[in-house]
Amino acid sequence: MLRDITPVTVVVGGFFGDEGKGKVAAYLGLKDMPSAAVRTGSINAGHTVSFNGVVWKLRSVPSAFLCRSCRLYIPAGALINLDIFLDEVEKTKCGDRIFVDFNTGVITDEHVFRETTDELMKLIGSTKQGVGAAVSDRVMRKLKLAKEYEVLKNYLRDVALEVNEYADRGGKVLVEGTQGLYLSLYFGTYPYVTSRDTSASGVLSEVGLGPKKVDDVLVVFKSYVTRVGEGPLPNELNPDEVVRLGFSERASVTGRVRRAAPFNMELARKALIINSATQVALTKVDVLFRDARNVREWGKLPVEVRNWVSEVENVLKVPITLIGTGEDVMAMVDLRQDVFGSLRR
C-alpha cells in the first residue's frame, strides 16, 4: 500500500544530537523539492551536508538549500550570529531565497564572552557560542532582534505567516530541528542540556506552526549513540572500544571528540513517544555494517543489515523509512512509499 509524500514534515534528533539530521534534511530537499525549508535552533549545532564531493558545515542555513527552487527561512524562535549567517549565505549562494524573521534573535560578541567566563557553562560542557547568554537576554526582554540590524533589511520577512501560507496551500514544508531530544532543556539530562526545547513541539513553536499543520514527524537516530561534552551516556564505551568499532567522531562546531555507546532502544522508544513520531530515519548504518556502504536499495542491503533494521523497527513500532549508508546526501535507502513493509518481504 502506497501513500503520497505529505506536505509538512518536521525532522528532529532522537538522541544527543549528531544523528545526521543535516544529511536527512538535505536528502529530503533534493528528493521532495519542498516549497519552503525552515532551520530552527542556533549556531551551537552544526549540520553537515556532503554532496558530489563538496562538504558544507552549516550552523544557520537550512540543509535543504541544495534544492534551488526552495525558499529558505530562519524563524522567530531561532538565533543567528550575523557573521556566521552572512558567510553561509555567501558559501551556499542562496542570498536571493533565504529570509529571516523580523523577531529572530541576534547573538553578539558580548554573549560569547559571557559564556567563555561562566563557570556553569564550563561545567556542563557548553559550546561557548553565546547561545545560552542570548537566550537569557531574550527572556529578560533585552536581546536585540533581526529587525534592528540594517545589514539584514533585505532578508526580513514574517516567517510564521509565509510558512503557514505554504502549508495552507498544500505546499511541501520541511522543518529542520537541531540537536537531539536528550539535550532538550525540559526532556534532556538536565543540567547537561542546551538552552531550548529540542522536541518536535519545541521546534514547531519556534517556527509558529501549530501541530494540526504537521503531517509527519521524522525522528533521526544514528546506528549508535554519540554525545559531545559532559552528562550521562548510558552504556558508554571506553575510548579503545570506540576506535575499534569505528565510532570515532568529532563535533562539527567545536571539534571535540564525541563519546559513544551502542544503539539504545530505551532512549529511542521514549524519543518516539515525546515527539509523536510517524517515521524513523537510521543513519550511518554503513559504520555498523561496512558492506552496506553506499547501497541505495533495500533489496541490495546485506541480509544481516535488513535483519537488524527490521529488528529495530519491530521494537520501536514506528516505520523506518530512511536508511543512511554513506556520507553523501544521496547515499540513502528510501522506503517512504512503502511504510507498510511490502518491499521488505
The single residue of 47, 111, 197, 286 carrying the catalytic annotation is 47
Supply angle C-alpha 71, 74, 79, rounded to 5: 165
Q: Catalytic annotation on 18?
A: yes
Q: In terms of Cα–Cα distance, which of 291, 289, 294 is closest to 309?
A: 289
The Cα 40–Cα 106 span in angstroms is: 13
Residue 306's contacts (CB-CB under 8 Å, 6 or more residues apart) are: 298, 344
Helices (H), the chain: 21-32, 82-92, 109-116, 119-124, 131-139, 159-168, 200-207, 239-245, 265-275, 285-288, 303-316
Query: Cβ distance 63 to 194 under 8 Å?
Result: no
Q: Catalytic annotation on 4?
A: no
CA atoms within 13 A on the CB side of 81: 20
Residue with cell 551556499: 92
Q: For strand 98-101 and strand 156-157, is the pairing parallel, antiparallel, or unpaired? A: parallel
| Count of positions (residues) in the chain | 345
DSSP conformation letters of 98-148? EEEETT-EEE-HHHHHHHHT-HHHHHHT---SSHHHHHHHHHTT---BGGG
CA atoms within 13 A on the CB side of 104: 33
Residue 28's contacts (CB-CB under 8 Å, 6 or more residues apart) are: 9, 11, 34, 64, 174
Query: Cβ distance 343 to 298 under 8 Å?
Result: yes
Q: Which residues are catalytic?
A: 18, 47
